[in-house]
Amino acid sequence: MPTLLIDGRPLTEVAGCLFYLARRYPEAKLLPAGAEAEAHAVSWMSFIASTLHPARRQGLAHAQEVYRIADRRLGDNDWVLGRYSIADIHLFRLFWRMAKSLQPAPGTLGNLFRHYEQMMARPAVQHTIAAEAAIGYELPA
């Protein structure tokens, strides 16, 4: 991801970049309105960044456990916050990488795989994946 500069300083964390973009472009409606809804967004973004993101480096068993927590937390909701948001983008980004590299057992993480399929059906996601493939971007194994 290219470095985003805000007031000349780099913002390189995915969660920070997504939050900035959602606030900068409110017409995209990537962040729910209201303090309580925004707090839920920050809670999910923090969980994703601090728990899911480092899980890959801590071994398969640990990664599977924390993704089971995320699967339960998502539940049968279509979207993390009730409608499409920056939290869905962040969750998808990490689950997409984890699913390819750690290959969870079939039949596990059903809620996350359902979310993954919904994200993969979005034209913007398809366009992004096609653009990355065209320049040779490969996910790490």
State pLDDT tens for residues 55-79. Answer: 988 888 898 899 999 999 999 999 9
DSSP 3: P
Are 71 and 111 contacting, i.e. CB atoms less than 8 angstroms apart?
Answer: yes
Predicted TM-score (pTM) of the model is: 0.85
Spell out the domain ranges in the chain. Answer: 4-134
CATH number of 4-134: 1.20.1050.130
> How far is it between the farthest Cα atoms of the chain?
47
